[in-house]
Amino acid sequence: MTVIHTITGQGLVNRYGREVLTPTYGEVSIRTANLIQVRNGNDQTSGLVDSTGKELLPMKYNINESQNGYLSVSAGNKTGVIDSTGKFVIPLKYERLFLVGDNLALVMDSISEGVDMKVYGHFIDMKGKAITTTNKFNGIPKRCTESFCIVEDIKIDLTGQSPGLYPEYSFVKLNGEEITKDKFPNVGFFSDGMAPINDKNMKMGFINSSGKIVIKCQYDLKSYRGAPEFTYFKNGICLVARDGKSFYIDKAGNEYIAE
């Protein structure tokens, strides 16, 4: 599928060049393989069509984030979730709902004011069923994998040449229990029981599901638009680099030549 731009507006053609959407829309965005967001002119609300151009949602919604084929959708001050067919799997009933991965959504019940943010919320699955009770989080839960969530908090740093507010990251279980007291400039998600972390020198290491730093920060870490590009464990090994040379490591930190 390809978005086309003409004098009359934006449209969509399929892989064979056949027109799927007449180019009359103000904006066309491909959100998933089967969900295309459309918007008229300067309207702030959008609708959805499928890959054949069939309308799934009329143009009266705000289309938000997408994860694992699901989209969060809001109208007024209520948010719900639709699946890849455009069907509502979680109705428009929550004021603060965010997709966090692992086919989970975080429902924020309340947020404390101030820099020392406390979030009170619970997780629901993609059928709208609550899988946890309301718990306290010392920050905002972000992406969740393997039953662990990245939590973003804000720290005040009045030292150094650039004093101000900076994000810092840690990990919690779904019930809000911290697995480590350590905070990091940035982290990646859990994969194969390990999660990458980085220190202030932009060196990468790894933490395990018990919250222990099992591989210290020592590996080269590239960044893209200011965000670190972490590598992840799969089947017990991970590709890393140091001093420009790439190699594999296992979960004990043993190094193997990359062929």
256: CATH:
2.40.10
Does the residue 104 lie in any domain?
A: no
Q: Note the pLDDT of residue 42.
A: 74
Q: d(Cα 2, Cα 204) in Å, to the nearest integer?
A: 37
- Tell me what the pLDDT averaged over the chain comes to: 89
Q: d(Cα 105, Cα 65) in Å, to the nearest integer?
A: 11
Does the residue 255 lie in any domain?
A: yes
Q: Over the stretch 41-60, which tens digit does the pLDDT of each residue have?
A: 777 789 999 888 899 999 99
Does the residue 39 lie in any domain?
A: no
Statement: residue 98 has pLDDT above 80 = yes
Statement: residue 20 has pLDDT above 80 = yes
Mean pLDDT of 182-206: 94
Q: d(Cα 59, Cα 73) in Å, to the nearest integer?
A: 12
Q: Over the stretch 126-176, which tens digit does the pLDDT of each residue have?
A: 999 999 999 999 888 989 999 999 999 877 766 666 666 778 999 999 998
Q: Note the pLDDT of residue 66.
A: 87
Q: Are 26 and 42 in contact (CB under 8 A)?
A: yes
> Which range marks the domain in which residue 229 is found?
188-259
Does the residue 210 lie in any domain?
A: yes
Q: Are 190 and 179 in contact (CB under 8 A)?
A: no
pLDDT: which is higher, 115 or 78: 78
Q: Which of 65-79, 156-170, 194-208, 228-242 comes out lowest in average pLDDT?
A: 156-170
Does the residue 206 lie in any domain?
A: yes
Query: Which residues 6+ apart lie within 8 Å of 73 measured at CB?
Result: 57, 61, 62, 63, 64, 79, 80, 81, 82, 88, 92
Q: How many domains does the chain have?
A: 1
> Which of these, 140, 153, 69, lies nearest to 106 by C-alpha position?
140
Does the residue 64 lie in any domain?
A: no
For the whole model, what pTM was predicted? 0.81
Does the residue 239 lie in any domain?
A: yes
pLDDT: which is higher, 257 or 184: 184
Tell me the CB-side half-sphere exposure of residue 9, using CA atoms within 13 A: 16
Q: What are the structure tokens assigned to 67, written together?
A: 């994860």
Mean pLDDT of 73-80: 92
| 8-state DSSP, 7 | T
Q: Are 6 and 21 in contact (CB under 8 A)?
A: no
Q: d(Cα 151, Cα 136) in Å, to the nearest integer?
A: 12
